[in-house]
Protein backbone atom coordinates (compact mmCIF):
# COMPACT_ATOMS: atom_id res chain seq x y z
CA UNK A 1 0.00 0.00 0.00
CA UNK A 2 1.15 3.49 -0.73
CA UNK A 3 0.18 7.13 -0.65
CA UNK A 4 -0.55 8.53 -4.10
CA UNK A 5 -0.26 12.12 -5.18
CA UNK A 6 -3.58 14.02 -5.28
CA UNK A 7 -4.10 15.84 -8.57
CA UNK A 8 -4.96 19.52 -8.13
CA UNK A 9 -7.31 21.72 -10.14
CA UNK A 10 -5.69 23.05 -13.29
CA UNK A 11 -4.50 19.58 -14.27
CA UNK A 12 -6.54 18.71 -17.40
CA UNK A 13 -7.09 15.10 -16.26
CA UNK A 14 -9.70 16.32 -13.74
CA UNK A 15 -11.85 17.39 -16.72
CA UNK A 16 -11.75 14.01 -18.44
CA UNK A 17 -14.40 11.31 -18.28
CA UNK A 18 -13.35 8.14 -16.44
CA UNK A 19 -13.63 4.76 -18.14
CA UNK A 20 -15.51 1.71 -16.95
CA UNK A 21 -13.62 -0.87 -14.87
CA UNK A 22 -13.58 -4.21 -16.71
CA UNK A 23 -11.08 -6.24 -14.71
CA UNK A 24 -11.49 -6.93 -11.01
CA UNK A 25 -7.89 -7.90 -10.41
CA UNK A 26 -4.91 -7.19 -8.16
CA UNK A 27 -4.24 -3.93 -9.98
CA UNK A 28 -7.70 -2.65 -9.02
CA UNK A 29 -7.30 -3.84 -5.43
CA UNK A 30 -3.93 -2.08 -5.14
CA UNK A 31 -5.54 1.10 -6.46
CA UNK A 32 -8.38 0.83 -3.90
CA UNK A 33 -5.93 0.18 -1.04
CA UNK A 34 -3.74 3.11 -2.08
CA UNK A 35 -6.78 5.37 -2.41
CA UNK A 36 -7.80 4.47 1.14
CA UNK A 37 -4.33 5.33 2.49
CA UNK A 38 -4.30 8.56 0.51
CA UNK A 39 -7.78 9.54 1.74
CA UNK A 40 -6.93 8.70 5.37
CA UNK A 41 -3.80 10.83 5.28
CA UNK A 42 -5.59 13.75 3.61
CA UNK A 43 -8.52 13.36 6.07
CA UNK A 44 -11.07 13.69 3.30
CA UNK A 45 -14.57 12.21 3.04
CA UNK A 46 -14.20 10.74 -0.42
CA UNK A 47 -11.89 10.26 -3.35
CA UNK A 48 -12.29 9.39 -7.02
CA UNK A 49 -9.56 7.50 -8.92
CA UNK A 50 -9.12 10.41 -11.34
CA UNK A 51 -7.88 12.43 -8.35
CA UNK A 52 -4.87 10.13 -8.16
CA UNK A 53 -4.44 10.27 -11.92
CA UNK A 54 -6.31 7.08 -12.88
CA UNK A 55 -9.19 7.54 -15.33
CA UNK A 56 -11.29 4.64 -14.09
CA UNK A 57 -14.76 4.65 -12.57
CA UNK A 58 -13.64 3.98 -9.01
CA UNK A 59 -14.76 5.95 -5.95
CA UNK A 60 -14.28 5.55 -2.22
CA UNK A 61 -16.32 7.26 0.48
CA UNK A 62 -15.61 7.34 4.21
CA UNK A 63 -17.57 9.92 6.14
CA UNK A 64 -16.54 8.84 9.61
CA UNK A 65 -20.05 7.85 10.76
CA UNK A 66 -19.02 4.41 12.02
CA UNK A 67 -20.15 2.63 8.87
CA UNK A 68 -16.62 2.42 7.52
CA UNK A 69 -15.27 2.76 4.04
CA UNK A 70 -17.40 2.20 0.95
CA UNK A 71 -15.80 1.15 -2.32
CA UNK A 72 -17.90 1.93 -5.38
CA UNK A 73 -16.85 0.63 -8.77
CA UNK A 74 -18.71 1.66 -11.94
CA UNK A 75 -21.23 3.52 -9.75
CA UNK A 76 -24.43 5.03 -11.08
CA UNK A 77 -27.12 7.00 -9.32
CA UNK A 78 -30.41 5.14 -9.73
CA UNK A 79 -32.68 7.23 -7.53
CA UNK A 80 -32.66 10.75 -6.12
CA UNK A 81 -35.08 12.41 -3.72
CA UNK A 82 -37.01 15.50 -4.80
CA UNK A 83 -36.02 17.02 -1.52
CA UNK A 84 -32.71 18.87 -1.68
CA UNK A 85 -30.27 20.28 0.82
CA UNK A 86 -27.81 23.16 0.56
CA UNK A 87 -24.55 22.76 2.43
CA UNK A 88 -20.82 23.45 2.34
CA UNK A 89 -18.63 21.38 0.12
CA UNK A 90 -14.89 21.17 -0.48
CA UNK A 91 -12.59 18.92 -2.47
CA UNK A 92 -9.07 17.55 -1.94
CA UNK A 93 -8.24 18.66 -5.48
CA UNK A 94 -9.28 22.26 -4.68
CA UNK A 95 -7.50 22.92 -1.39
CA UNK A 96 -8.78 25.89 0.61
CA UNK A 97 -11.90 26.34 -1.51
CA UNK A 98 -15.38 25.87 -0.06
CA UNK A 99 -18.78 26.55 -1.51
CA UNK A 100 -22.49 25.98 -1.03
CA UNK A 101 -23.89 23.27 -3.31
CA UNK A 102 -27.46 22.08 -3.58
CA UNK A 103 -27.70 18.27 -3.59
CA UNK A 104 -30.55 15.77 -3.29
CA UNK A 105 -31.20 14.82 0.34
CA UNK A 106 -31.21 11.11 -0.45
CA UNK A 107 -29.67 9.14 -3.31
CA UNK A 108 -29.44 5.48 -4.15
CA UNK A 109 -26.33 4.34 -5.96
CA UNK A 110 -25.82 1.04 -7.73
CA UNK A 111 -22.18 -0.04 -7.91
CA UNK A 112 -19.90 -3.04 -8.06
CA UNK A 113 -17.70 -4.05 -5.15
CA UNK A 114 -14.05 -5.05 -5.51
CA UNK A 115 -15.08 -8.58 -6.51
CA UNK A 116 -17.38 -7.27 -9.23
CA UNK A 117 -20.66 -7.99 -7.43
CA UNK A 118 -23.42 -5.39 -7.93
CA UNK A 119 -24.80 -3.80 -4.75
CA UNK A 120 -27.04 -0.87 -3.86
CA UNK A 121 -26.05 1.85 -1.44
CA UNK A 122 -28.34 4.39 0.12
CA UNK A 123 -26.97 7.77 1.10
CA UNK A 124 -28.65 10.44 3.15
CA UNK A 125 -27.39 13.91 4.04
CA UNK A 126 -23.60 14.04 3.99
CA UNK A 127 -23.31 10.57 2.46
CA UNK A 128 -25.68 11.50 -0.38
CA UNK A 129 -23.63 14.65 -0.93
CA UNK A 130 -20.40 12.63 -1.10
CA UNK A 131 -21.88 10.16 -3.57
CA UNK A 132 -22.93 13.01 -5.87
CA UNK A 133 -19.62 14.86 -5.49
CA UNK A 134 -17.48 11.79 -6.23
CA UNK A 135 -19.64 10.61 -9.13
CA UNK A 136 -19.34 14.09 -10.64
CA UNK A 137 -15.55 13.59 -10.72
CA UNK A 138 -16.07 10.54 -12.97
CA UNK A 139 -17.70 12.84 -15.55
CA UNK A 140 -14.93 15.43 -15.32
CA UNK A 141 -16.93 17.78 -13.11
CA UNK A 142 -15.91 19.46 -9.86
CA UNK A 143 -18.11 21.03 -7.18
CA UNK A 144 -17.35 24.60 -8.25
CA UNK A 145 -19.29 23.84 -11.47
CA UNK A 146 -22.48 23.57 -9.40
CA UNK A 147 -21.77 25.97 -6.56
CA UNK A 148 -24.40 28.56 -5.67
CA UNK A 149 -21.99 30.62 -3.58
CA UNK A 150 -18.30 30.31 -2.79
CA UNK A 151 -17.40 30.86 0.86
CA UNK A 152 -15.12 33.74 1.76
CA UNK A 153 -12.21 33.30 4.16
CA UNK A 154 -14.40 34.85 6.89
CA UNK A 155 -17.18 32.35 6.18
CA UNK A 156 -14.69 29.47 6.40
CA UNK A 157 -13.29 30.75 9.69
CA UNK A 158 -16.80 31.16 11.13
CA UNK A 159 -17.85 27.66 10.02
CA UNK A 160 -14.72 26.19 11.58
CA UNK A 161 -15.31 28.01 14.88
CA UNK A 162 -18.89 26.73 14.93
CA UNK A 163 -17.72 23.18 14.38
CA UNK A 164 -15.22 23.46 17.23
CA UNK A 165 -17.99 24.70 19.54
CA UNK A 166 -20.17 21.73 18.57
CA UNK A 167 -17.39 19.16 19.32
**Please, what is the minimum distance in Å from the beta carbon of residue 135 to Ni ion?**
10
| Residues at the site binding Ni ion, with contacts judged by CB under 5 A | 91
Q: Quote the CA–CA distance of 5 and 83 in Å, as a whole number.
A: 36
Contacts of the segment 128-131: beta carbons below 8 A, 24+ positions apart: 128/81, 128/85, 128/103, 128/104, 129/85, 129/87, 129/89, 129/101, 129/103, 130/45, 130/46, 130/61, 130/63, 131/61, 131/72, 131/75, 131/77, 131/107
Q: Which is nearer to Ni ion, 116 or 136 (CB)?
A: 136
Q: Which is nearer to Ni ion, 10 or 167 (CB)?
A: 10
48: nearest Cα among 102, 91, 111: 91
Q: Which is nearer to Ni ion, 9 or 161 (CB)?
A: 9
Q: Are 80 and 102 in contact (CB under 8 A)?
A: no
The residue nearest Ni ion at its CB is 91
**Please, what is the minimum distance in Å from the beta carbon of residue 93 to Ni ion?**
5
Which residue out of 134, 139, 153, 162 is catalytically annotated? Answer: 134
Q: Which is nearer to Ni ion, 21 or 135 (CB)?
A: 135
Q: Quick check: is 85 catalytic?
A: no
**Which residues are known catalytic residues?**
134
Amino acid sequence: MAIRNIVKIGDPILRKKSRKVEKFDQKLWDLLDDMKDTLDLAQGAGLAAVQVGILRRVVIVDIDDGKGLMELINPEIVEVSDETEESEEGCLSLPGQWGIVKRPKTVIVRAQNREGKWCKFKGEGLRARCFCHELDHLEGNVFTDFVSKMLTEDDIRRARDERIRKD
